[in-house]
Amino acid sequence: MLKNKSQLSVEYLILTGFIIGIISVVLVVFLKVFASGSAQDAINAQKINDLGDDIVKKAKQVFYLGLYSKQNVEYDIPDNVEFMFILELTKSTGEKFYYFGIHAKDKEIKKHYFLSDVPIASDGTLVDVDEDDLSSLIPECSTATCKFYNFKGNLINPGKKVFKIETRLYGAEPKVAIVPSTY
Partner 1 sequence: MYNKKAQLSVETMIIYGLVILFSLSVLGLLIYFGVLDLGSYLPDSCNIGGTGDLKCEEQKLSKTSDKFELGIRNTGQRPLKSLKVSVTDAASTHFTTLGPIVGTVGGTAISDLNPLSPGDVAVISVSAGGDVKPGKVLRGTLKTAYEYKDGVITQEASGTIRVKATD
Residue 22 one-letter amino acid = I
Nearer to partner 1, 18 or 64 (CB): 18
Report the alpha-carbon distance of residue 116 to residue 30 in Å, rounded. 41
Is 10 near partner 1 (CB under 8 A)? yes
In the list 58, 60, 110, 164, the residue contacting partner 1 (rule: CB under 8 A) is 110
User: Contact with partner 1 (CB under 8 A): which of 112, 120, 149, 156?
Assistant: 112
Judged by CB, which is closer to partner 1: 75, or 126? Answer: 75
| Residue 32 engages partner 1 in binding (rule: CB under 8 A) | no
| 7 lies in the binding site for partner 1 (CB under 8 A) | yes
Binding of residue 75 to partner 1 (CB under 8 A) = no
**Interaction of residue 73 with partner 1, rule CB under 8 A:** no
CB of 45 to partner 1, least distance (A): 4
Residue 108 interacts with partner 1 (CB under 8 A): yes or no: yes
Bridge pairing between strands 145-151 and 81-90: antiparallel
Binding to partner 1 in span 118-177, by CB under 8 A: 138-140, 144
User: Rounded to whole angstroms, how far apart are CA atoms 177 and 150?
Assistant: 13
Q: What is d(CA 7, CA 132) in angstroms, rounded to the nearest whole number?
A: 74
> Rounded distance, CA 151 to CA 102, Å?
10
3-state secondary structure labels for all residues of 3-35: HHHHHHHHHHHHHHHHHHHHHHHHHHHHHHHCC
**Residue 83 near partner 1 by CB under 8 A:** no
Q: Which amino acid type is present at position 155?
A: L
CA distance 122 to 151: 9
- Which residues contact partner 1 (rule: CB under 8 A)? 3-4, 7, 10-11, 14-15, 18, 38, 41-42, 45-46, 49, 53, 89, 91, 97, 99, 104, 108, 110-113, 115, 138-140, 144
